[in-house]
Amino acid sequence: IALVVSDRGYYFERRLQGQWQSLPGKGFDLTGWADGTTASAGRQRIVFDSLGLASSDAVVSLTRDGTTLVVHLRRDGKVTLDAG
């Protein structure tokens, strides 16, 4: 399973027969950022193994109305938020 984060929003994928495919179902498809929210994520794919460990650390900054929230995803799956 992978989490894909971009400037437009985020969605989930799964790897089947050697290819990444969108994970079907509500809540797994593209969820856009709320109106007025900008993300400085570029495009990141974070792959989770069968134990839930992430392939890499990830950082996504979300800004709306002059307030920034930084989401940190660690390899061990821990998620922390820093409000600025």
Distance, CA of 42 to CA of 60 (rounded, Å):
9
Instruction: Provide the pLDDT for residue 7.
Output: 87
Phi-psi region of 65 (alpha: psi -120 to 50; beta: other; left: phi over 0): left
pLDDT in tens, the chain (84 residues): 999 988 889 999 999 999 999 998 888 989 999 999 998 877 889 999 888 889 999 899 999 999 999 999 999 888 899 986
Distance, CA of 57 to CA of 76 (rounded, Å):
9
Instruction: Provide the pLDDT for residue 84.
Output: 62
Instruction: Provide the pLDDT for residue 2.
Output: 93
Distance, CA of 2 to CA of 49 (rounded, Å):
9
